């Protein structure tokens, strides 16, 4: 008996040893997204290398797109790992914009307070989304699909009610020169970029200004949120609770993880991220529009899935979602730079999503040992 | 850090063998009109394995869910180390030293061994106002505890899904022991396992008993029960049919008792005693 077991152990160990390096690599959720990002960079390095895509202003272009998406993808990834979806992210972007613009333009509320109001309002809606999901145990897919329509409907209705059209403009008059505008739409390190232009590292405009005036606030928000999200997920107790809540809510509850509170907090996080996105847009454009954020919920989910998050929860990473967003930005802008018809972007996006899901499925089987 | 490991709950003083850890008398549980438990009595002693036997529907699940704080009993006495208790959550039971390892809910396959091991009880390292999960400490403890039960894992960050079913049960048990459980409730830990895996789990259960814990071992496999049990309580239709020390009953008598009526016995005879 003992001999037999020793033999069995030896066989098992040997097999594990041979696979352990591969397994370890495969067990990194972000692996696929990183590999994908490298491929995409190689592709556009060859096809769009001479188009200015990789000059300073070209880089700014796709980094901004990737940054915007990173903001909402971070929230979406954390929520997906926690085992839920939020389809109301895009509508929340539109609605949060209205929550800033309408009080500012039509009620004379100082812009700082309007922004605060938008964040509080969005967090309350996120809380409500989470509470309904946790209490009723309905799929979050359905609950937030309802929110998607309710919020988008309210965004359009309120816009028509106050502005008599689907855009509320004139925010700029109230925002110019305020610290909130600097915080959400400013440019950082502009001195550095002036110096870079003077030394000839980056190009200058005809009037002598550098082609890139600084790092847009939206990119810094993206970097900050992604970093916080990554650290919380991988290095804190809360992160372990997020994995556990999404991996198996019952098992987590049995060992005392407050699953309900974790999930509600995650819904509030996606709402918060959507509001950061919305505020950046409102400050940048000086207006709120009823169609802002349309379909962004899917882009956020796509970035998270490309980044290795499983649709069933319990597995994924914020780093992966950032690479997912990067792929998104590079491809979307890269197609413009190469001059290929932009319509092909959606085809490519769909194919990439399908590939990512198939790949993730294989990874999950490896990781869980399913056959 | 080594000091931290030495002062873990595992090193706490265990009660002397034979002392009752859990006493349950005439426990009754109704779900509306359904009587799930109609008067169950049992005693779990330190350093002993009490096997809870019964066919499907006998009330085993309801009983363990009551003992582990998921359900509240309708009536009856429930004493832990001589003191009456009333748990309202599984966490209360855990804090009283009663840890339950559920058959399929023990571990989360997608999460690493370390993350599973410390799930709900993450070690914290403070850096100024921030608190982080001490992954270095957690990895080290997980690896050491796995080694103690004879599972040599190369990487405690590998997913639990890569472990076999028996190993997963053992990790779940090791986790409960590490966090200072006095009583372990094992819900059919062997029912989904093959022969080698089963013997691995049974061996570990016996090892845990020698460390002075009380174990409630739920199974409907009499052979598995007889291999590790010190005492056997048989449940039928929500009632205890009786409790027997190992010296008082044979494996066949136990099987007959568990079958409850003559039907299975005659079937068993037809099949030459192979059930």
Which CATH number fits the domain that encloses residue B75? 3.40.50.300
Quick one: DSSP state of residue B131? E
**B236/B111 Cα distance (integer angstroms):** 38
Q: Shortest CB distance from B161 goes to which of A24, A241, A369?
A: A369
A65-102: burial string, b at 16+ Cβ within 10 Å, e else: bbbbbbbbbbbbbbbbbbbbbbbbbbbbbbbbbbbbbb
pLDDT band per the 50, 70, 90 thresholds, residue A160: very high
Establish if B86 belongs to a structural domain: yes
Element counts in chain B: helices (H) and strands (E): 10, 12
Establish if B127 belongs to a structural domain: no
Q: Shortest CB distance from A235 goes to which of B91, B135, B199?
A: B135
What pLDDT, in 10s, does the model give residues A332-349? 888 888 888 877 888 888
Q: Does B91 touch chain A (CB under 8 A)?
A: yes
Q: How many CB atoms lie within 10 A of CB B149?
A: 17
Q: Shortest CB distance from B110 goes to which of A17, A253, A315?
A: A315
> To 10 degrees, the CA torsion angle through A287, A289, A292, A294?
-170
Establish if B28 belongs to a structural domain: yes
Q: Does A235 touch chain B (CB under 8 A)?
A: yes
Distance from CA of A72 to the nearest CA of B (A): 24
| pLDDT the model gives residue A99 | 97
What pLDDT, in 10s, does the model give residues A135-155? 999 999 999 999 999 999 999
Q: Do A240 and B109 touch (CB under 8 A)?
A: no
Q: Does A15 touch chain B (CB under 8 A)?
A: no
> To 10 degrees, the CA torsion angle through A105, A106, A111, A117?
-130
| pLDDT the model gives residue A1 | 42
Domain that holds residue B73: 2-112+165-270
Q: Which domains does chain A have, with CATH numbers?
A: 30-360 (1.10.3470)
Please report the ipTM that was assigned to this predicted complex: 0.82
Q: What are phi and psi of A141, to 5 degrees?
A: -55, -50
Establish if B146 belongs to a structural domain: no
Paired with B132 in beta bridges are B125
The answer to whether B105 and B115 have CB atoms below 8 angstroms apart is: no
Q: Which pairing describes strands B214-219 and B183-187: parallel, antiparallel, or unpaired?
A: parallel
Q: What are phi and psi of A77, to 5 degrees?
A: -65, -45
Establish if B38 belongs to a structural domain: yes
A266-286: burial string, b at 16+ Cβ within 10 Å, e else: bbbbbbbbbbbbbbbbbbbbb
Establish if B65 belongs to a structural domain: yes
Q: Do A239 and B102 touch (CB under 8 A)?
A: no
Q: How many CA atoms lie within 13 A of B117 on its CB side?
A: 28
The sign of the dihedral angle between the CA atoms of A211, A342, A48, A318 is positive
Show residues of chain B in contact with A16, CB under 8 Å.
154, 162
Q: Do B121 and A364 touch (CB under 8 A)?
A: no
| pLDDT the model gives residue B234 | 87
What pLDDT, in 10s, does the model give residues A253-305? 878 889 999 999 999 999 999 999 999 999 999 999 999 999 999 999 999 99
Q: Do A369 and B90 touch (CB under 8 A)?
A: no
Burial level of A175, CB count in 10 A (0-12/13-18/19+)? buried
Q: Shortest CB distance from A251 goes to which of B94, B108, B162?
A: B108
- State the total domains in chain B: 1
- Does A28 or A309 have the greater pLDDT score? A309
pLDDT along chain B (275 residues), means of 10: 40 65 90 87 91 84 87 90 87 87 78 92 91 93 86 83 83 87 88 82 87 89 88 86 84 78 59 57
pLDDT band per the 50, 70, 90 thresholds, residue A2: very low
**pLDDT above 90 covers what percent of chain A?**
62
User: What is the CA angle A266-A267-A270, rounded to 5?
Assistant: 90
| pLDDT the model gives residue B106 | 66
| pLDDT the model gives residue B7 | 38
| pLDDT the model gives residue B219 | 86
Q: Do A314 and B115 touch (CB under 8 A)?
A: no
Distance from CA of B119 to the nearest CA of A (A): 7
The answer to whether B153 and B185 have CB atoms below 8 angstroms apart is: no
Residues in chain B: 275
Mutate to test the interface with B, among A1, A255, A317 (most CBs of B within 10 A): A255
Find residues 228-267 of chain B whose CB sits inside 8 Å of chain A: none
The answer to whether B131 and A237 have CB atoms below 8 angstroms apart is: yes
Show residues of chain B in contact with A255, CB under 8 Å.
90, 94, 119-121
Q: Shortest CB distance from B108 goes to which of A4, A5, A247?
A: A247
């Amino acid at each position: 008996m003992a001999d037999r077991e020793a033999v069995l152990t030896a066989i098992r160990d040997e097999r594990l040893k041979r696979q352990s390096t591969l397994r370890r690599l495969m067990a990194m959720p972000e692996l696929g997204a990183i590999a994908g990002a490298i491929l995409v960079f190689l592709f556009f390095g060859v096809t769009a290398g001479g188009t200015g895509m990789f000059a300073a202003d070209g880089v700014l272009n796709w980094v901004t797109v990737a940054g915007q998406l990173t903001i909402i993808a971070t929230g979406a990834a954390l929520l997906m790992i926690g085992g839920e979806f939020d389809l109301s992210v895009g509508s929340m972007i539109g609605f949060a914009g209205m929550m800033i613009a309408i009080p500012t333009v039509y009620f004379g509320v100082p812009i700082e307070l309007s922004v605060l109001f938008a964040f509080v309002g969005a967090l309350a809606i996120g809380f409500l989304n989470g509470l309904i999901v946790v209490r009723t145990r309905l799929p979050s897919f359905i609950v937030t699909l309802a929110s998607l329509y309710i919020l988008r409907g309210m965004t359009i209705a309120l816009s028509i009610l106050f502005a008599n059209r689907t855009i509320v403009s004139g925010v700029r008059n109230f925002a110019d020169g305020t610290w909130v505008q600097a915080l959400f739409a400013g440019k950082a390190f502009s001195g550095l970029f002036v110096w870079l232009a003077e030394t000839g590292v980056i190009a200058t405009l005809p009037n002598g200004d550098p082609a890139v005036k600084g790092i847009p606030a939206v990119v810094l928000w993206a970097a900050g949120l992604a970093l916080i999200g990554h650290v919380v997920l991988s290095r804190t107790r809360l992160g372990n609770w997020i994995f556990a809540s999404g991996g198996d809510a019952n098992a987590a509850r049995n060992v005392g993880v407050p699953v309900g509170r974790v999930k509600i907090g995650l819904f509030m996080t996606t709402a918060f991220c959507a509001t950061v996105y919305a505020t950046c847009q409102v400050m940048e454009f000086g207006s709120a529009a009823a169609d802002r954020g349309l379909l962004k919920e899917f882009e956020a989910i796509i970035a998270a899935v490309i980044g290795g998050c499983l649709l069933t929860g319990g597995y994924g990473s914020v780093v992966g979602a950032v690479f997912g967003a990067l792929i998104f930005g590079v491809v979307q802008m890269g197609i413009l730079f190469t001059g290929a018809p932009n319509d092909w972007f959606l085809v490519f996006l769909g194919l990439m999503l399908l590939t990512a899901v198939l790949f993730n499925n294989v990874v999950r089987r490896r990781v869980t040992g399913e056959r | 850090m080594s000091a931290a490991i030495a002062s873990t709950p595992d090193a706490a003083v265990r009660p002397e063998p034979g002392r009752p850890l859990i006493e349950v008398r005439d426990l009754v549980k109704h779900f509306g009109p359904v009587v799930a438990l109609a008067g169950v009595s049992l005693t779990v002693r330190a350093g002993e394995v009490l096997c809870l036997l019964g066919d499907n529907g006998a009330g085993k699940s309801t009983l363990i869910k009551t003992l582990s704080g998921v359900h509240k009993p309708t009536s009856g006495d429930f004493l832990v180390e001589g003191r009456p208790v009333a748990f309202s959550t599984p966490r209360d039971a855990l804090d009283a030293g009663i840890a339950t390892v559920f058959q399929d809910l023990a571990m989360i396959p997608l999460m690493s061994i370390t993350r599973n091991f410390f799930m709900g009880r993450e070690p914290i390292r403070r850096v100024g106002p921030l608190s982080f999960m001490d992954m270095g400490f957690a990895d080290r403890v997980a690896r050491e505890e796995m080694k103690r039960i004879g599972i040599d894992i190369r990487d405690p960050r590998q997913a639990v899904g890569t472990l076999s079913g028996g190993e997963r049960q053992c990790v779940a048990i090791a986790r409960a022991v590490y966090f200072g459980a006095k009583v372990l409730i094992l819900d059919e830990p062997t029912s989904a396992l093959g022969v080698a895996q089963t013997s691995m789990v049974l061996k570990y259960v016996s090892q845990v008993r020698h460390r002075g814990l009380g174990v409630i071992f739920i199974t409907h496999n009499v052979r598995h029960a007889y291999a590790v049990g010190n005492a056997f309580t048989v449940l039928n239709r929500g009632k205890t049919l009786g409790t027997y020390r190992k010296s008082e009953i044979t494996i066949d008598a136990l099987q007959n008792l568990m079958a409850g009526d003559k039907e299975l016995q005659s079937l068993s005879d037809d099949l030459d005693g192979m059930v």
